[in-house]
Amino acid sequence: MAITFANVSFAYPSGWRAVDDVSFTVKEGERLAIVGQNGAGKTTTVKLMNGLLKPTSGTVTVDGVTTAERTTASIAATVGYVFQNPDDQIFASTVRDELEYVPRYRKWDDAKRDERVGRAARLAGIERYFDSNPNDLPLVIRKFVAIAAVLVGECKYIVLDEPTAGLDRPGQRRLVSLIDQLESEGVSVVTITHDMRFVAQTFKRVIAMANRRIIADGDCASLFASDELLRQASIRRPELAQLVRDLGLSDRAYRLDEIAALIPDNR
């Protein structure tokens, strides 16, 4: 079981080409990051994953069926997407209502509804906002509401579009434990982010996009080792990876423990 892109291109109705000949596979249970230049086509790519957008050419296949043959609603039950802007996603006037949308739509009984909603709110750390109007909450909390709303559905694949934007350190810890939890349940997590320190700490596989295309798909160390790939994707390696590179100590080290071990004695 997997999501597979085969030579996928996409142009918006205005004619603007946003994704060009993209091919990759996300396996069930796998976690990965998508990074790269503003406007590279990351959000467009993940919207193609869950059927919000359909390819202009090429095919996107979710668990063996192309998205062109399925309705967006039916794909959404398998592939959950958390929007980059939570306000594009949230419509209800209370957090509880927003989280209960999927249970209502799928006609779950109350016991199942309460169990799934409670669990999602706990994982996202938003239980205390149940009765709030999402509009009254800060942007980052609204993002966690949007995440929780997607967690309620029993999706096998979950896509988070820039969950680290504006996020503080306690929020990052919550995000990492949420991703770990999903992985332990066998759910795939695809995360778009610009935070390379977060990528280095949280993901092994990373896809880099630039200019409508995928320019790299592999492990973090290989991406951070290549000046050319980083330049094309408008990204920078984490500070410490750059430091040991400038010092001529390593081209591939990027974790704090690895790097601490490389620093020479001060005598």
Partner 1 sequence: MALISMQDVSFTYAYSEAPALTDVSLTLEERLLYGVIGVNASGKTTLCSLMRGLIPLFHPGTLTGKVEIRGRNLLEWDPAELSRAIGCVFENPFTQISGIKDTVFEEIAFGLENIGVPRDEMIERVLEVVERLGLEELIKKNPNELSGGQRQKVAFAAIVAMDADFIVIDEPTSQLDPEASDAVFEIIGDLRKRGKSIVLVEHKIDLMAQHADRIIVMKDGRVIAEGPTADIVTSGVMDEADVPRPEVTELALALQGTGKAFPSLPITRAEAFDALSSRRGG
Residues found near ligand ATP in the complex (CB under 6 A):
12, 14, 16, 18, 38-44, 84
Q: Residue 40 or residue 123: which is nearer to ligand ATP going by CB?
A: 40
Query: Minimal distance in Å, beta carbon 127 to partner 1?
Result: 16
**CB contact set of 79 (below 8 Å; sequence gap of 6+):** 3, 49, 50, 51, 62, 155, 156, 157, 158, 159
Query: By rule CB under 8 A, what count of residues binds partner 1?
Result: 47
> Site residues for partner 1, window 21-80 (CB under 8 A)?
36-39, 43
Query: Minimal distance in Å, beta carbon 144 to partner 1?
Result: 10
Q: Residue 47 or residue 156: which is nearer to partner 1 going by CB?
A: 47
Q: Residue 82 or residue 230: which is nearer to Mg ion going by CB?
A: 82
> Binding segment for partner 1 among 21-29, 66-74, 81-89, 118-126 (CB under 8 A)?
81-89
> Site residues for partner 1, window 228-257 (CB under 8 A)?
233-236, 238-240, 242-243, 246-249, 256
> Site residues for Mg ion, window 25-54 (CB under 5 A)?
42-43
Q: Residue 29 or residue 39: which is nearer to ligand ATP going by CB?
A: 39
Dihedrals φ, ψ of 97, to 5°? -60, -40
Residue 185 binds what, of Mg ion, partner 1, ligand ATP, none (CB under 5 to 8 Å, by partner type)? none
67 binds Mg ion (CB under 5 A): no
140 binds partner 1 (CB under 8 A): yes
Give the number of other CB atoms < 10 A from CB of residue 10: 23
Q: Residue 104 or residue 236: which is nearer to ligand ATP going by CB?
A: 236
Q: Contact residues for Mg ion (CB under 5 A)?
A: 42-43, 84
Q: Contact residues for partner 1 (CB under 8 A)?
A: 12, 14, 16, 36-39, 43, 84-85, 87, 138-141, 162, 165-171, 194, 196-197, 233-236, 238-240, 242-243, 246-249, 256, 259-260, 263-267
